[in-house]
């Protein structure tokens, strides 16, 4: 396993699914982990299970002040932030544009796109000052292919894809590694929401077709290594069998 001893990893959306799995995987690799989510009780429990190298911070990524405070808390506790995992994301409410609620539609943009920007903006000066770091952002095939009922999600993920590219262009010279990860469909609560909507082909998939969140977490750990430098500024697809082999997440 990649040795992350002495490194600090801040994870958004860490109360369940990919974020929770990443907290455990990175802690097992020796990292300090900072778990953020809107629900404090869930991340408190996860942090308690991990131990002294974990910190739980309540954070709504749609609010700049929350994100900045979470990053400040990470630095105050552990002295640095070496890895930011932009994982927090929402897809509800799923439905056609013609019936969409503008406030609810905009909230998805606030979380999925602006939340990623806030994370980048908060850690970038820190990473630049310390000589580098990694910003790993959960992307999606929806960034490249429109799906019925997912206009808000597709638009936000397309924006995140370009934000990752912009970060690479501006941050690479400062030692900041920017990589996106498109995991495919993952067995998380989001997939239950998609299934419940009954809209588009993704909702028709069986649960057995979704990969476990631990696969994504292990891929994120691998992305912190030099072996993933081929993909700086780009997006890795976990559907790619070659990538699964390199990240050691094959069935």
Cβ atoms of 215 and 249 closer than 8 Å: yes
C-alpha dist (Å) from residue 243 to 113, 131, 216, 240, 249: 26, 28, 11, 5, 8
Q: Of 134, 118, 136, 132, whose CA–CA distance to 173 is shortest? A: 132
Q: Cα separation of 195 and 76, whole Å? A: 41
The sign of the CA dihedral 145, 167, 241, 238 is negative
Residue 86 backbone phi and psi in degrees, to 5:
-80, 90
- Of the listed 78, 118, 153, 231, which one is catalytic? 153
Cβ atoms of 160 and 112 closer than 8 Å: yes
Our answer to whether residue 117 is catalytic in this structure is no
Q: Nearest 10 degrees: CA dihedral of 120, 125, 126, 131? A: 110
Cβ atoms of 233 and 169 closer than 8 Å: yes
SS3 107: helix
Q: Of 39, 31, 32, whose CA–CA distance to 13 is shortest? A: 39
Q: Cα separation of 106 and 94, whole Å? A: 13
Q: Cα separation of 220 and 243, whole Å? A: 12
Q: Which positions are annotated as active-site residues?
A: 153
């Amino acid at each position: 396993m990649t040795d992350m001893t002495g490194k600090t990893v801040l994870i958004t959306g860490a109360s369940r699914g990919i974020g929770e799995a990443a907290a455990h995987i990175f802690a097992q690799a020796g990292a300090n982990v900072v778990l953020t989510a809107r629900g404090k009780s869930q991340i408190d429990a996860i942090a308690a299970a991990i131990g002294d190298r974990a910190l739980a911070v309540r954070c709504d990524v749609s609010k700049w002040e929350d994100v900045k405070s979470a990053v400040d808390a990470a630095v105050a506790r552990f002295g640095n932030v070496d890895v930011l995992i932009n994982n927090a994301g929402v897809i509800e409410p799923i439905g056609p544009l013609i019936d969409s609620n503008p406030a609810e539609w905009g909230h998805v943009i606030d979380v999925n796109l602006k939340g990623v920007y806030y994370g980048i903006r908060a850690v970038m000066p820190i990473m630049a000052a310390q000589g580098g770091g990694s910003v790993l952002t959960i992307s999606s095939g929806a960034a490249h292919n429109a799906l019925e009922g997912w206009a808000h999600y597709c638009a936000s993920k397309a924006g995140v894809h370009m934000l990752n590219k912009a970060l690479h262009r501006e941050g690479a010279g400062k030692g900041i590694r920017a990589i996106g990860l498109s995991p495919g469909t993952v067995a998380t609560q989001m997939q239950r929401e998609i299934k419940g909507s009954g809209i588009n082909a993704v909702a028709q998939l069986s649960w057995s077709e979704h990969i476990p969140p631990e696969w994504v977490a292990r891929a994120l750990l691998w992305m912190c290594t030099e072996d993933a430098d081929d993909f700086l500024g780009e997006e890795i697809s976990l559907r790619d069998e070659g990538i699964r082999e390199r990240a050691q997440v094959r069935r």
